[in-house]
Structure 1
Amino acid sequence: MAAPDPNAPAVDIAAAMVTAPSTFADWLLILPVAVPLLTGAILVMVRHHTHLHRPLAGAGLAILLGLNLLLLQRVVTEGPVTMMMGGWLPPFGIAFTADVLGATFATTAAFAALVATATAGPSINTAERRYGFYPFLMLLMTGVTGAFLTGDIFNLYVWFEVLLISSFGLLVLGSEKRQIDGTVKYGILNLVATTLFLASVGLLYGTLGTLNMADIAAKARAAGPEAPLVTIAALLTFAFAMKAAAFPLNFWLPASYHTPTPTVSALFAGLLTKVGVYALLKVGVLLLGNQTGAFSSVLVVVAGSTMVIGALGALAGSDLRRILGWLVISGIGSMLIGVAVGTPTALTGSIFYAVQSMLVMTALYLAAGVIEARCGTGDLRRLGGLYAVSPLFAGVVLVLFFAVAGLPPFSGFWPKAILVEATLAADLPWLAAAVLVAGFLQTLAVGRVWLYAFWRGGPEGTPDGTLQLAGIGRIEDPADRIALVGPVVVLAGAVVLMGLVPTVVGGLAEDSARGLIDPAGFTARVLGATAP
């Protein structure tokens, strides 16, 4: 090999590459993805030592939560931050980008997952641990966190694939007939959405010549009318609406979310649909907001229909976890209002609702798991007398029901109030009415569940007012009781605190909304963050 010519002119790479050394603050963008991925790999290596899985996964999730909190603090004080793989300057190369919206969602997801995993001790049996529950869980958190922190739209697709693969594994653990049935329904619809997403990304790259989100936001607003961006925006919205379980693409969720173990159901309800909502907010408002406005009237109808139909489905159900699935769908409609209306107030309400829904729905599915552990069923017709068994637990569940219905002073009230204000200001009184009607129907649905499961004396067919404890078991092991009920209490406490002190989450939601509405500030911060 020839020696380098000492007389050759020096090549200046500063115009294309980052020349300054990376700091810990830069790596803070990568670590929330690297930590769960590394933890999952370690869990695979010790797969025969299942007694180590729970503490290792708990440690990994605790570290993940701490890193996300540090990242959230940084983006709140400094604004969006970017790190480019390979040292390339944006928009070249693969970008990790964190803003207030992504960091808030990632932090909330890590907290919900950490608390929910505490229930995995008594609810996940040895066989399910041996077949990979904890590695799948960490892979799921890798995909969820990566989706919230990516700055590249193709890599958003990649992280969707990661969480989709891991969710398949979590759904089918146990290999029961209903789990396989739910996995098939869940998988087919999500694969269709993912394929449509990938095709839309190809069209977008062919039109704008970039995959960097900040660069897309800048070029989309400068593109001429000949660019098919409205079509691309419609295709992306359709794909993300399917993943978020918006009407009329919602039928897969209540057919699948009740089939796995309650811990898995809780993680899915709290996290997965919110990734679809996040993608809708990011792409439909920040990147292609002008194009999405062309069919905003359709989105308004979809949002209203999703809220009301989800609430009606919950009111008509008889299986506890299926009812909760319909409540998840109804909440998605509230989150879609921000994309449909597009005003800062509407976006604030939608983001606030999404954050509190992560905690509320996770807690409700965990509570359903406790009820199933006590009674051996989630069928409302066979439930009853649980208030006499545990008045404290009954009160905690009632708090969560009030929150999901949007009753004051709990966490669901504030975002719904903001959304009503935003829809009235946008001259959409019927959508404001849909928010209120959906809230009323949700109140009836959760009230019916509480009366059937907790307040009446016993299951259907027993004498009224007579406590029939036959078939209602107590969780005898104190450690199991704490592991099952403790996370529900912790999440309910967070819900109460969020309702009593809404300014913290409300402030983060307001900052996130401003970041979505102002793409110029986002693109300037990201594209100029590492410029010489």
Structure 2
Amino acid sequence: MSDLTWLVPLPVMLPLTGAGLALALWRHASAQRVITLVVLSLSLVASVGLLFAQSGSGPLIVDVGGWSAPVGINLVADRLSSLMLAISALVVLCVLVYSLAQGVADGDEETPVAIYHPSYLVLAAGIAIAFLSGDLFNLYVGFEVLLAASYVLITLTGTAERIRSGTIYIVVALLSSVIFLFAIGLAYSATGTVNMAQLAQRLPEIDPGISLALQLLLLLAFGIKAAIFPLSAWLPDSYPTAPAPVTAVFAGLLTKVGVYAIIRIQTLLFPGGRADDLLMWAALATMLVGILGAVAQNDIKRLLSFTLVSHIGFMIFGISLSSEAGMAAAIFYVVHHITVQTTLFLVAGLIERRGGTTSLDHLGGLAKIAPLLAVLFFVPAMNLAGIPPFSGFLGKVGLLEAGVAAGTPMTYALVAGGVVTSLLTLYALVKAWNKAFWQTAPAPVEPVHLPRGMVGSAAVLVVFGIGLTVVAGPLYAYTERAAHDLDDRDGYITAVLPDGGRGSGISDRVAREAAEAREAADEAVDEAEAVTP
């Protein structure tokens, strides 16, 4: 066991502790801000520490309460989960700074919605639980924790439009949760466990029909959360109405938690590619339908919401190939997309603040009056479209190469669909940039000051997105190792279940302490017998 194992629970414990403190200090806005900033900064440090702790010695495992799998709750930090934790922690922190600067600029820094900071911290904790969970039930708990917080955040201020869109979001999220919970019940009734490592051992032994039904139920539940077509209609109606920081963190992270869950179950629980054809069709439809929806939009937020749906298809494309090359490219693309999509939604908030709207019919001339804003939109837009040499281009090239290497008619169709989607993404974003920044404004725009904190947060993510291009080599090598680890199911199972899952549930540490206590007791008895006449 690594000495850095103590880092594993921190991305969960820190936000939950901070949420409790922030809620207790609900009358003190400044204290809430400090607590949230400090907690999320420490969570970022812990997550980056976990990322660098992945040295090839296997996943870092924490047995919550001292009870090991399959009885106890396990937190498992491998290369994939550590990478997802690190990028999500960075995004959550940058979005927080953006929202705080927005609050100061709007004059409500002393009287914010008191529940905002606790809810935001609970959201961060839920995301971490989902990434670290070693069993299906606690993955469900992670989803419910982050969804409960998201219900609050998406309906903040209580306007009629936000309540309506929030209701749609809540109904769809509850539906996916019910399906997920039903799948968990089926898994337990069929195998007697919900621990993912033990499920990986037992699922091949049950009836193939039941195993396939379980796989399809889980894919249905996670497909709704990831907004895969035809389960994506809820997203463009829900996200654009929320406040800009909320929309940004939702767009960047919540759908990726669903993608992460699909990666985990497809590689660990259901290897062999039985559902690959279904995923390929879903990936192709998601890419094309999503981007056609984006092309038809005249509102920046709705356009970005449809591109979000469309580019989920690229990730499912890589997963459906069931190859290390495809999985490595999919993981790389997830990291790229979290960064770029979050950045674009933050910049959309700046555009709305500067131009008074996000409607492309009412915007214009922003390049002249706000050149920095034009750059902040243009760079991540080109990155999302996949223009060389940005990380979006590198991720797409990796996916296309993996598709060509598979060499089947369906993978060639996916390659063609990916190329068409990239070209249409470029067209939609160039059209948006031209209308908002280049064409003459239909009406004079009143000068509005853009807060430095908001601009700075967006700029940090823009620079980070460029940085992904600079470090693309080492990052891609890391995702290739992560994909190799996912393919090595035995390594994960052995790390989580060192005794093959046959133990009493007592962790190695507890068992060792118990053995030491028995040894000490035996020595005491021997000493007592030695001095007894």
TM-score for both structures, normalised by structure 2: 0.90
1:66 counterpart = 2:30: no
Matched AA of 1:496: I
Matched AA of 1:420: L
Contact kept? 2:58, 2:491, Cα under 8 Å: no
SS of the residue aligned with 1:382?
coil
Matched with 1:451 is: 434
Could you tell me which of 420, 432, 436 is aligned with 2:400?
A: 420
Alpha-carbon distance in 1 for matches of 2:112, 2:121? 13
Alpha-carbon distance in 1 for matches of 2:494, 2:30? 49
1:409 counterpart = 2:409: no
Alpha-carbon distance in 2 for matches of 1:180, 1:433? 40
Contact kept? 1:131, 1:173, Cα under 8 Å: no
Matched with 2:219 is: 237
Segment drifting more, 212-221 vs 97-106:
212-221
Question: C-alpha deviations, 1:225-267, integer Å up to 9, x for none?
Answer: 4561111000100110000000001011100101111000001
Contact kept? 1:98, 1:151, Cα under 8 Å: no
Matched with 1:188 is: 171
Could you tell me which of 404, 418, 433 is aligned with 2:416?
A: 433
Matched with 1:280 is: 262
Contact kept? 2:344, 2:380, Cα under 8 Å: yes
Matched with 1:49 is: 28
What is the deviation of 1:403? 0.7
Number of corresponding residues: 495
Segment drifting more, 490-499 vs 49-58:
49-58
Alpha-carbon distance in 1 for matches of 2:307, 2:186? 35
Alpha-carbon distance in 1 for matches of 2:230, 2:428? 21
What is the deviation of 1:32? 1.2
Matched with 2:490 is: 520
Question: C-alpha deviations, 1:298-340, integer Å up to 9, x for none?
Answer: 1101001101111111111111111111111011101111221
Could you tell me which of 194, 197, 204 is aligned with 2:187?
A: 204
Could you tell me which of 227, 237, 262 is aligned with 1:255?
A: 237
Matched AA of 1:218: Q
What is the deviation of 1:524? 1.5
Q: Tell me the C-alpha RMSD between the 2 structures.
A: 1.7
Matched with 1:159 is: 142
Question: C-alpha deviations, 1:152-181, integer Å up to 9, x for none?
Answer: 110000110000100000011010111101
Alpha-carbon distance in 2 for matches of 1:274, 1:257? 15
Alpha-carbon distance in 2 for matches of 1:287, 1:482? 47
Question: C-alpha deviations, 1:198-244, integer Å up to 9, x for none?
Answer: 100111111111121111122224x1445611110001001100000
Contact kept? 1:246, 1:306, Cα under 8 Å: yes
What is the deviation of 1:122? 3.8
Alpha-carbon distance in 2 for matches of 1:458, 1:364? 21
Contact kept? 1:207, 1:227, Cα under 8 Å: no
Matched AA of 2:451: R
Matched with 2:468 is: 498
Could you tell me which of 212, 235, 249 is aligned with 1:267?
A: 249
Could you tell me which of 384, 398, 402 is aligned with 2:364?
A: 384
Contact kept? 1:218, 1:519, Cα under 8 Å: no
Contact kept? 1:91, 1:210, Cα under 8 Å: yes
Contact kept? 1:81, 1:99, Cα under 8 Å: yes
Alpha-carbon distance in 2 for matches of 1:115, 1:299? 33
Matched with 1:17 is: none
1:89 counterpart = 2:68: yes
What is the deviation of 1:288? 1.7
Could you tell me which of 338, 357, 364 is aligned with 1:358?
A: 338
Segment drifting more, 254-263 vs 212-221:
212-221
Matched with 1:474 is: 448
Structure 2: 5+ residue stretches without partners: 500-506, 513-533
Matched with 2:457 is: 487
What is the deviation of 1:285? 2.0
Moved over 6 A (4+): none
Alpha-carbon distance in 1 for matches of 2:47, 2:60? 13
Alpha-carbon distance in 1 for matches of 2:34, 2:352? 25
Matched AA of 2:246: V
Question: C-alpha deviations, 1:184-211, integer Å up to 9, x for none?
Answer: 1101111000100010011111111112
Question: C-alpha deviations, 1:458-513, integer Å up to 9, x for none?
Answer: 13xxxxxxxx5x234321xxxx6211111111111111111132023212211221
SS of the residue aligned with 1:35?
helix
Matches within 5 A, 1:1-16: none
Matched AA of 1:242: I
Segment drifting more, 200-209 vs 46-55:
46-55
Alpha-carbon distance in 1 for matches of 2:119, 2:448? 30
SS of the residue aligned with 2:61?
strand
Matched AA of 2:174: L
Alpha-carbon distance in 2 for matches of 1:130, 1:51? 12
Matches within 5 A, 1:64-143: 64-124=43-103, 125-126=108-109, 129-143=112-126
Alpha-carbon distance in 2 for matches of 1:328, 1:76? 33
Alpha-carbon distance in 1 for matches of 2:290, 2:242? 21
Contact kept? 2:101, 2:452, Cα under 8 Å: no
Alpha-carbon distance in 2 for matches of 1:524, 1:120? 43
SS of the residue aligned with 2:241?
coil
Contact kept? 2:191, 2:206, Cα under 8 Å: no
Matched AA of 2:346: L
1:29 counterpart = 2:8: yes
Alpha-carbon distance in 2 for matches of 1:474, 1:153? 49
Contact kept? 1:128, 1:174, Cα under 8 Å: no
CA, structure 1 residues 454+286, in 2 after alignment: closer, same or farther (shift >3 Å)? same
Could you tell me which of 356, 378, 396 is aligned with 2:376?
A: 396
Contact kept? 2:29, 2:110, Cα under 8 Å: no
Contact kept? 1:337, 1:347, Cα under 8 Å: no
What is the deviation of 1:350? 0.8
Contact kept? 2:100, 2:109, Cα under 8 Å: no
Contact kept? 1:263, 1:366, Cα under 8 Å: yes
SS of the residue aligned with 1:96?
strand
SS of the residue aligned with 1:474?
coil
1:509 counterpart = 2:491: no
TM-score for both structures, normalised by structure 1: 0.90
Contact kept? 1:218, 1:520, Cα under 8 Å: no
Contact kept? 1:76, 1:100, Cα under 8 Å: no
Matched with 1:296 is: 276
What is the deviation of 1:289? 2.1
Segment drifting more, 194-203 vs 81-90:
81-90
Report the identity percentage. 35
Contact kept? 1:197, 1:239, Cα under 8 Å: yes
Alpha-carbon distance in 2 for matches of 1:472, 1:413? 37
What is the deviation of 1:23? 8.2
Contact kept? 2:347, 2:376, Cα under 8 Å: no
Contact kept? 1:380, 1:452, Cα under 8 Å: yes
1:306 counterpart = 2:276: no
